Amino acid sequence: MTNIVLVLADNLGWGELGCYGGGALRGAPTPRIDALAKQGLLLQNFNVESDCIPTRSALMTGRHPIRTGGVQSQPPGVPHGVTRWEVLLPQLLKAKGYATAMFGKWHLGDLQQRLPNARGFDEWYGIARTSHESRHTETPGFDASVATIPTVMQGKSGAPSEDVKVYDIKARRLIDSELIERSIGFLQRQAQTRQPFFLYVPLTHLHFPTLPHPDFAGRSGVGDFADSMIEMDHRVGLLLDELDRLDLSKDTLFIFASDNGPEFRLPDRGTAGYWEGTYHTAMEGGLRVPCILRWPGRIPAGAVSNEIVHVVDMFVTLASIAGAPIPEDRPIDGIDQTAFLCDPGSKSRREGFPFYIKQELRALKWRQWKLHLMWEREPNDGPIKLESPYLFDLLQDPKESRNVLVEQSWVMEPMQKMQQAFQQSLREHPPIAPGTPD
């Protein structure tokens, strides 16, 4: 059976890594991840949801978050993420005999019954919520009598998770080193067994505040953001080195991806490179993110593809690789892309998808075209509901600046059929409302 390691960066834009045109141009060479890309498949058209929670929901359920209610954050202790009715990827893999571990940012619920160790992971360590909360306790006026103190947590299956320490600015700087240290420990334990494993490592870099480990502070010479990029590349390299040292690489599918497009806030603003926009928008820079897959003997080295793949496809594809059955009692939006990944010169099994932000249908993507139903180039600029949609040919117009609706009006037919089919599915299978309790 194939081991699976999935590393998910936080707010890493399409244009940041060297293999995607950034790296040294951003003041932060990324040699380890660039080398990984040469060993496997680099996807140029890997698409995600609008921000942290919806992408994680889509990854773990294979369903667009408009279905699951996993569309936005809620205050601590309020139900958010996904309900226990959803079947998550680690549950499928665990049922097939996989050891499962998560070290990183969860962001799919902070109630005990929704934490990773209650949702299919044998063990976990990290944060239940998100990184900007590390500023809370050091913010002037913070009042612990009315606001929750953010913590780093840990837990094992069958027992409640527990707080380990306060998640403050010091902990923010250290946490990714701790995540990789624990991931390496898990790999070492698994190397002593014949049990296949699923290791999920949702890093905290490059989410704001983008602060490097003290060992990397000043490394780039151009500031905290680039220092953190260099650190992230180094941490990924440590995982790859350990897989090699333990002779596990040949039997392991290794995936590196990002959860959404780049941060838009200064001073931590990132870049989508070739594309326009950031997360929280329907621009290509919010949809497309880095994704690299290495599977020795199955995925050819040095492959590059611009075929459409969506994060919901990961759920079905990884379940298929593990031989796990997909739930049949609910709509699953993901598509098994195993054959395409193993033959990247072929066509993806996906032609398009709808794109929602929270509960609003913002855009549709199909083949080389993008149809905007609402327009918001920068977060908080709108959105403007369009009387007549904007249609862009992404191959000729990557910046989404020339509306070709009149010239290419035939494209509306297949795109509207895709929209109507999806919305009919929502009527037949009503979405779970955000905040629905278990």
Residues taking part in catalysis? 52, 107
DSSP 122-150: SEEEEESS-GGGGGGGGSTT--TTTSPPP
**Residue type for position 212:** P
Distances (CA, A) of 429 to 7, 217, 247, 256: 32, 50, 46, 33
Nearest to 109 by CA among 136, 93, 130: 130
Matching residue, tokens 């962001």: 107
Q: How many residues does the chain have?
A: 438
Instruction: Single out the residue of 145, 148, 152 nearest to residue 115, CA to CA.
Output: 152
Task: Quote the CA–CA distance of 231 and 107 in Å, as a whole number.
Answer: 22
- The pair of structure tokens assigned to 58 is 């889509």
String of b and e for 154-167 (b: at least 16 CB within 10 Å)? bbebeeebeeeeeb
